[in-house]
A and B are shown apart, each in its own frame.
Chain A
């Protein structure tokens, strides 16, 4: 059973191999709607927009404070490359998506489900197996041709996220040098124990430019696949164990 809805300005797809029911899908989609209403910088009445317009800290929600704490910690471990402060405006969306997908997966687990995936805008958490009782096969999109896949990885309980500039044009910059755009790296996919880790490290490492893949290599539990502007991919030493060879 697979369902898709457009929330947070992007398609969110949930597949439950078996045991899925409409109330369960609704519960997860409603969770994403709640997240969108709280964290969307595109909505003037969202909590994050109100905070950026001066809402005092005493009125911030617990989940907002939790997310800020996670952002602060991520900034620290990425040596400042993950930064939600854009010219005085806070935008935690580089972390919120992965965090929300991870929480959504936990909602499904609490329902006793083991075989499913949750995908939001190209970031994915998988669990268990697909309808053929095999691990999930996930393609990495070609940043030069969105209709093409350039790598296929097999995952059963991991998260994967991709940062790139090829869909919306140039929108990620180096927070340490705001005039320096990331142009050499076209996309960086990160596999981690869960999609929250994959998303936040993909975001931070992408902002590092070519050094990003090395940063991923340096952190245990993370694997990465980087595609540069010369159509050359560079990947971490443990990445290959996930790869399904061309059929």
Chain B
């Protein structure tokens, strides 16, 4: 009986050691966990190669009374990152983020895989709206139709 308990304790200890070693190995995989910790800050305004936005990855673990996160794994809700859905799970260990796992991730094409390796930026959107202001010139798709060119040339010749 005693022997069995001892073996069990050893086994649990062993699993814990393996588990914590695993966590330690996972830590260097993380790029910038602090950007997730600061999940209440506004979306980044400058480009950052590895910023994980608070909106795109909506897993916001509860703060413990100590101000650190409670240990555990937290799954975020599915967030529409406009090019596809993003969902993450965050594992907290010792009050720190030990692992960020993407449960959903748009990577159907090779290009998006390459791009997604870098970051998931949260891009802002707005409904387009006519502007009225003093402008010098306009950027737009190229006018190359013959009719347009002719009409413009005619207009210019009168100008």
A interface residues (Cβ-Cβ under 8 A, vs B) = 4, 6, 9-11, 13, 15, 79, 81, 97, 117, 119, 121-124, 130, 136-146, 148-152, 160-168, 176, 187, 189, 208, 210-211, 213-215, 217-218, 220, 227, 231-238, 240, 244, 246-247
Does B127 have its Cβ within 8 Å of any Cβ on chain A?
A: yes
Nearest-neighbor residue (CB-CB) of B122 within chain A: A237
Does B115 have its Cβ within 8 Å of any Cβ on chain A?
A: yes
Does B19 have its Cβ within 8 Å of any Cβ on chain A?
A: no
Given contacts A121-B142, A122-B143, A167-B141, contact A210 B121 (CB under 8 A): no
Q: Which residues of B sit under 8 angstroms from A122, Cβ to Cβ?
A: 138-143
Given contacts A9-B149, A137-B134, contact A233 B144 (CB under 8 A): no
Q: Are B131 and A151 in contact (CB under 8 A)?
A: yes
- Please report the C-alpha to C-alpha distance between residue A73 and residue B119 in the assembled complex, in whole angstroms: 24
Residues 75 to 119 of chain B near chain A (Cβ within 8 Å) = 82-83, 109-112, 114-115, 118-119
Q: Which residues of B sit under 8 angstroms from A144, Cβ to Cβ?
A: 128
Q: Are B82 and A210 in contact (CB under 8 A)?
A: yes
Q: Which residues of B sit under 8 angstroms from A145, Cβ to Cβ?
A: 130
Q: Are B127 and A237 in contact (CB under 8 A)?
A: no
Does B133 have its Cβ within 8 Å of any Cβ on chain A?
A: yes
Does B156 have its Cβ within 8 Å of any Cβ on chain A?
A: yes
Nearest-neighbor residue (CB-CB) of B148 within chain A: A167
* Interface size in chain B (residues, C-beta < 8 A): 46
Q: Are A15 and B142 in contact (CB under 8 A)?
A: no
Q: Which residues of B sit under 8 angstroms from A176, Cβ to Cβ?
A: 109
Q: Are B136 and A217 in contact (CB under 8 A)?
A: no
Q: Are B145 and A167 in contact (CB under 8 A)?
A: yes
Does B72 have its Cβ within 8 Å of any Cβ on chain A?
A: no
Q: Among A4, A79, A162, which residue has its beta carbon within 8 angstroms of that of B156?
A: A4
**Closest approach, in angstroms, between the C-beta of B127 and any C-beta of chain A?**
6
Q: Which residues of B sit under 8 angstroms from A220, Cβ to Cβ?
A: 47
Q: Are A232 and B128 in contact (CB under 8 A)?
A: yes
Q: Are B142 and A79 in contact (CB under 8 A)?
A: no
- Please report the C-alpha to C-alpha distance between residue A81 and residue B156 in the assembled complex, in whole angstroms: 37
**Closest approach, in angstroms, between the C-beta of B40 and any C-beta of chain A?**
18
Task: List 10 extra interface pairs beyond A138-B138, A160-B139, A236-B47, CB under 8 A.
Answer: A121-B142, A124-B137, A137-B133, A139-B131, A144-B128, A148-B130, A149-B131, A149-B135, A163-B141, A214-B83
Q: Are B136 and A136 in contact (CB under 8 A)?
A: yes
Does B65 have its Cβ within 8 Å of any Cβ on chain A?
A: no
Q: Are B133 and A244 in contact (CB under 8 A)?
A: yes
Q: Which residues of B sit under 8 angstroms from A143, Cβ to Cβ?
A: 140-141
The contact sample of 15 A-B pairs, CB cut-off 8 A, is: A119-B137, A122-B141, A137-B133, A139-B135, A142-B128, A143-B141, A149-B131, A150-B130, A187-B140, A189-B139, A214-B112, A217-B123, A237-B121, A244-B133, A247-B132
**Closest approach, in angstroms, between the C-beta of A109 and any C-beta of chain B?**
19
Q: Are A237 and B44 in contact (CB under 8 A)?
A: yes
**Closest approach, in angstroms, between the C-beta of B110 and any C-beta of chain A?**
7
Q: Are A79 and B133 in contact (CB under 8 A)?
A: no
Q: Are A13 and B111 in contact (CB under 8 A)?
A: no
Given contacts A151-B131, A235-B124, A237-B47, contact A6 B149 (CB under 8 A): yes
**Closest approach, in angstroms, between the C-beta of A52 and any C-beta of chain B?**
19
Q: Which residues of A sit under 8 angstroms from B119, Cβ to Cβ?
A: 218
